[in-house]
Structure 1
Amino acid sequence: MENNKMERGLKSRHVSMIAIGGAIGTGLFVATGGVIAEAGPFGALLAYGIIGIMLYFLMNTIGELATFYPVSGAFSAFSTRFVDSSVGFTIGWVYFLIGILVSAVDIIVASNVITFWEPMQFFSPFTWSLLFFSLIFVLNIIKVRAFGEAEYWLSLIKVITIIVFIVIGTLMIFGILGDEFYGFKNYTVGEAPFVGGISGFLGVLLVAGFSVGGTEVVAVTAGESDDPEKSMPKAVNQVFWRILIFYIGAIAVISAIIPYTDPTLLNETGSVNQSPFTIVFDRVGIAFAASVINTVILTSLLSASNSMLYSASRTLFALARKGHAPTSISKINNKTYSPLAAILVTCGTIFLIVVLSQFLENAIFILLEFVGSLIILVWLSNVWAQMRLRKAIKLQGLDIDEVLPFKAKGFPVGQYVVIAIILFLLTGGSIQYIIDFNGAELLRHYLPFIILIGIFIVHKLINKTVMVDLKTVDLSRKMMD
């Protein structure tokens, strides 16, 4: 008899680290300096603080949905159950596309990062890509608990590095380590603490907004968490505080030690030698600082690739369960208790992208940039689904405390905060094009969203779907697969 249940083998510590693995990558270790150079110390801190507030309410929204409905491939399932089947179809395929592209690109970048060490140049970057892909492939086809352990340790490396960096940096600021007392004089050097005016701040706010992409993957793990009612709320709080502290703590330390006027902060070459983390470790006398940070960057890329492959495969599985993808992909393997068919299809697609990158590398990076902005619509779909869930509970006259095992904090004000910031992220990058009447750039900026709306309309017309009736929607916690 065929098994039809996923293995619930992910512990709460796995869940938290998988989300952190998806959200903390090269942006923190390499690109943070550019953020400080563009907006100044306080501008950067304020931008990440605002995004942190959004992240808090967003993670609570996701936690409420995932605890009530702990299903693999969450985002498609949430929208299908509480909003509209066509929305679930569209969001699911968008998230799958983002997942496979991010996973493939992280493997490609990792294959170049490892050649930082001369002995590793014995193999070509393409060979390294295949080796890294093989590693990620193996981690995903074994039992989910083994996958969770691997992701836990990969993510833990960068978590420890960030903590050590913040501690060492703080000691340097107060002159306890190193030969110089830095204090906070660099916070007011030149035009600091705010630099670049409103345009510089808004530009950094956009960077900060998209940098937390990946935290939403915590919802995808709910379907394989051993106790989602306990692990989801715990993971939601841990992920928010850790990511907020890591980003703000790192920026605060870098701003104090390296003035925003230092040209190395821009790091236009993307060199690990000009990473703010490398510079700080160098100044305190840590040997092989560049090698240390390069190692962390490498594990960050592999961790993020691993996390996104996991979320993409579960999204594909959920799509198949809902009839939005071939039903043959919806089967659970009897040995691993995982959606092996969906994993194999996802891995095969990522492998194809890695191979094609040898001939179309620029095209693949452009495609990722093209669809990457759509992650904000995935976030928006979660807020929409949660608000409709709350409305359904009210319309059916049910007790919210009995229906929801975990309630999002700040509802509904928090949801409006998330919507407002998402709308800014959606339009912020096009403001200058509107001012300049640049139609071509406006079209390029909004083309992914236009295509997405087109897909939604076509699916709706073909399948004649309607909005879910909130008065009759099933609000029992049974799985609706």
Structure 2
Amino acid sequence: MSFPKYKAEDSIPQAHLSQTISNTESKYSYGINTRNMDTMDPMDIEGYPVYSYDNSSQSPININKEEEKQSWGKRFADSFKRVEPQVFDPSLTQTQEAYLKSASSPLKRQLQNRHLQMIAIGGSIGAALFVGAGTALHTGGPAGVLIVWILSSTMIYLTVQALGELAVTFPVSGSFIQFNTRFISAPWGFAMAWNYVFQWIYVLPLELVAVSMTISYWNDTISPAVWVTIFYLLICGIAIFGVRGYGEVEFVLSFIKILAILCFIVLGIVLECGGGPKGGYIGGKHWHHPGAFANGFKGVCTIFPTAAFSFAGTELVGLAAAETDNPRKTLPSATKQVFWRISLFYITSLVLIGLLVPYNDPRLQSPTSSVDAKASPFVISIENGGIKGLPSVMNAVIMISVLSVGNSSVYACSRTVVSLAEQGFAPEWFGYIDRAGRPLVGLFITLLFGLLGYLAVTSKQGVVFTWLSATSGLSSFLTWGSICVCHIRFRYAMKLRERSTEELAFTALTGVWGSIASLFLIFLILVAQFWVALFPIGKKPSAYSFFEVWLCLPVVVVFYISYMIWKKDYTIYIRTRDLDIDTGRGMFDLDFMREIIADEKAYISAKPLYYRLFRLWC
């Protein structure tokens, strides 16, 4: 495929957008919001679509005036009506039309800076860390856990930097879901989009079952179906409030999770130094006996999926770009917060766990579920210090974490479904977005699969969910690897056209070499997982154990080949010279963009050293 050649200052939106995107009685145009531009921080200048209408009933002002005259019930009912789809210039290619659709999505920009910061810092902290770290400690030992989490966190940090650059440059709906199609190929974009749907669509029922298990810790006389129903309706209620509901709930839940980990870090240091009820300095004795490694090199390789699950959802910061107020300012800051989450919440807490809990502690060996508070190394370390009554507190934190992940799964899956429709990878009605900015069909599909949570009352729930979760197995690594490839190809396309990174509102601190390094780490991790899936610890080689880890691979291959046959598109990768690096940009006047960036650099350089360091890392 190829695109028309445009000069840097003549991007597709400038040349076509004012004529090509129109509703029945209105025009849609892009521009820069320059409110108080002379007195504000350059970062506050908004570089995303600004709507303008031509004296029509479609104007938001006219709509709001009409709604004020209606009753609350009428306004609520009308909010579910679909936003009129846009009509595009037929001279545009299907691919260009898809890019413009995603750039002008009617999703509401209601996520504020505080929402995005909290999602970035605490969004993916969940049971995989609170409980899964215990299984990892038993399998790999304290040194193995640190090695795996440091390597995984390095890879995540490099990937999020790349995603931040792309998402700020192209704040479109679907984010990295669409980048695969734009910078690699349509068949790969199709396969990875559906892979991401499967990665999240089974998370909601899994988390509903997990919630019922956490509740049974306090009361096991009530049927799990009751708790599944209560939490299912709660998540449905949150979805009704759209992206603002998601943001507010995640803000509160993430704050609680962060507070819990900070409290544990302080308490863990006290216990390590002998300040607990039992007293006695602990130091690094557990690293000597029973030792630093549990199962040698294979044990280290085996726990990479656990680390991946603990980081799953980190990429949601990029997915939220299309619904973020002023992404040019908030997204760079959010991507930088990942460093602090990794270093403070993950690495620091895991160092303390490795010092406080020996890997051969029998309580680590047999958790009844992935949310069993009794098997949490956080709980065990505190119990070993002589403090009683904490399992209930940690169980409550785990329950909050599970609810947070379930809420995020609805957000991620529903927005991915919309992106599928915008790119022509799913029926057009999958992209139904109502006047309140809710992707109703996407929400319906996601919540429909949530009903699988009622398998919690069956005796075969373990087998069913093992295979449901296996479809997403290592798919996070494929998602992260694709993001890095997109970033590398984007930078290469800019270099080929002699375009400077000075026109980018945010550049990855680690540059393109960071993406290359991350991609190399992902390759090594996948090779290691292939080995341990073939020859698992303590088991004979079997197809069952292999596909329990690698089922996502045949799923991706099937979708990849199916698209090629369906669309007769056998493109392996788009030639670099044909990559579109302009359509859907958050700011189209490149000269103005360069001026804003120069002003921003001058603004920061005039500030004290502490402020410059703060802006660099936060």
TM-score computed with the length of structure 2 as normaliser: 0.72
Which residue of structure 1 aligns with residue 189 of structure 2? Answer: 88
Matched, 1:474 2:573: no
Which residue of structure 2 aligns with residue 453 of structure 1? Answer: 557
8 A Cα contact 1:67 1:229, kept in partner: yes
1:267 Cα deviation (Å)?
A: 4.0
What is the number of equivalent residue pairs in this alignment? 475
Distance 1:220 1:207 in 2: 23
8 A Cα contact 2:298 2:532, kept in partner: no
8 A Cα contact 2:487 2:515, kept in partner: no
Which residue of structure 1 aligns with residue 399 of structure 2? Answer: 298
Distance 1:382 1:142 in 2: 30
Distance 1:78 1:441 in 2: 34
1:45 corresponds to which letter in structure 2? L
1:286 Cα deviation (Å)?
A: 4.9
Matched, 1:196 2:295: yes
8 A Cα contact 1:19 1:214, kept in partner: no
| Aligned counterpart in structure 1 of residue 150 of structure 2, from 30, 46, 49 | 49
1:152 Cα deviation (Å)?
A: 1.1
| Aligned counterpart in structure 2 of residue 333 of structure 1, from 434, 438, 444 | 434
Distance 1:182 1:39 in 2: 25
Matched, 1:431 2:531: yes
1:63 Cα deviation (Å)?
A: 1.0
Structure 1 unmatched runs, 5+ = none
8 A Cα contact 1:21 1:307, kept in partner: no
1:310 corresponds to which letter in structure 2? Y
Matched, 1:220 2:323: no
- Of structures 1 and 2, the one scoring higher in RCO (CA 8 A, sep 6+) is 1
TM-score computed with the length of structure 1 as normaliser: 0.91
1:211 corresponds to which letter in structure 2? S
Residue range with higher mean Cα deviation, 455-464 or 341-350: 341-350
C-alpha change, 1:178 and 1:382, in structure 2 (3 Å) is same
Distance 1:107 1:446 in 2: 24
1:346 corresponds to which letter in structure 2? T
The aligned runs of 1:17-36 (5 Å cut-off) are 17-19=118-120, 22-36=123-137
8 A Cα contact 2:473 2:551, kept in partner: no
Q: Name the one with the larger helix percent.
A: 1
Which residue of structure 2 aligns with residue 231 of structure 1? Answer: 330
Residue range with higher mean Cα deviation, 212-221 or 22-31: 22-31
Distance 1:470 1:454 in 2: 26
Matched, 1:159 2:258: yes
1:217 Cα deviation (Å)?
A: 1.6
SS of equivalent residue, structure 2 residue 303 = helix
1:167 Cα deviation (Å)?
A: 0.5
Percent of aligned positions that are identical: 32
1:432 Cα deviation (Å)?
A: 4.7
1:176 Cα deviation (Å)?
A: 3.5
Residue range with higher mean Cα deviation, 79-88 or 16-25: 16-25
Residue range with higher mean Cα deviation, 275-284 or 339-348: 275-284
Distance 1:136 1:48 in 2: 31
SS of equivalent residue, structure 1 residue 471 = helix
SS of equivalent residue, structure 1 residue 408 = coil
SS of equivalent residue, structure 2 residue 289 = coil
8 A Cα contact 2:120 2:335, kept in partner: no
Distance 1:471 1:99 in 2: 34
Structure 2 unmatched runs, 5+ = 1-57, 59-82, 85-104, 587-618
C-alpha change, 1:354 and 1:19, in structure 2 (3 Å) is farther
8 A Cα contact 2:253 2:404, kept in partner: yes
Distance 2:373 2:542 in 1: 37
The aligned runs of 1:131-170 (5 Å cut-off) are 131-170=230-269
Distance 1:20 1:355 in 2: 32
Distance 1:312 1:52 in 2: 24
CA shift digits 1:109-133 (9 cap, x unpaired): 1112112112xx4541112112111
Aligned residues: CA RMSD: 2.5
1:438 Cα deviation (Å)?
A: 4.5
C-alpha change, 1:222 and 1:448, in structure 2 (3 Å) is same
C-alpha change, 1:420 and 1:157, in structure 2 (3 Å) is same
| Aligned counterpart in structure 2 of residue 126 of structure 1, from 210, 217, 225 | 225
